[in-house]
Amino acid sequence: MAIIYQHDKRSGITYAYDSFSYRDKETKKVRAIRKLIGRVDKETGEIVATDGRRRKDKVKEEAGEQIDYKELCEKLQNKLAAQEVLIQSLQKQLNS
């Protein structure tokens, strides 16, 4: 896996992607899968995580609002389980 930086000329923003290469057995060519990590901060050069849709974080960080950590934990566990199923299916495709 490698981190790829791509600069958008229209907006002037540089995005960071996680790139994974694999060999496609049908076409016998190397393919790449990219997943957005986040934006690159111009001043510090650090990668700021983003979901790619210009939306704010779903977790509110306001002082007056209470965060339901149990619900948040359950959502993260469900997301992790779905990702594990996806990883297993992709591994089966690569091995076959």
Q: Where are the domains of the chain?
A: 1-52, 65-96
Q: Which residue in the block uniquely carries the two structure tokens 């149990």?
A: 70
Q: What is the pLDDT of residue 66?
A: 75
Q: What is the pLDDT of residue 59?
A: 46
What residues contact 29, with CB distance under 8 A and at least 6 apart? 23
pLDDT per residue of the chain (96 residues) written in tens, 0 to 9: 799 999 999 989 999 999 999 999 999 999 999 999 999 998 998 998 887 676 655 444 444 567 788 888 999 999 999 999 999 999 999 887
Q: pTM score > 0.75 for this model?
A: no
Q: What is the pLDDT of residue 83?
A: 94
What residues contact 52, with CB distance under 8 A and at least 6 apart? 36
Three-state secondary structure call for residue 90? helix
Q: What is the pLDDT of residue 51?
A: 74
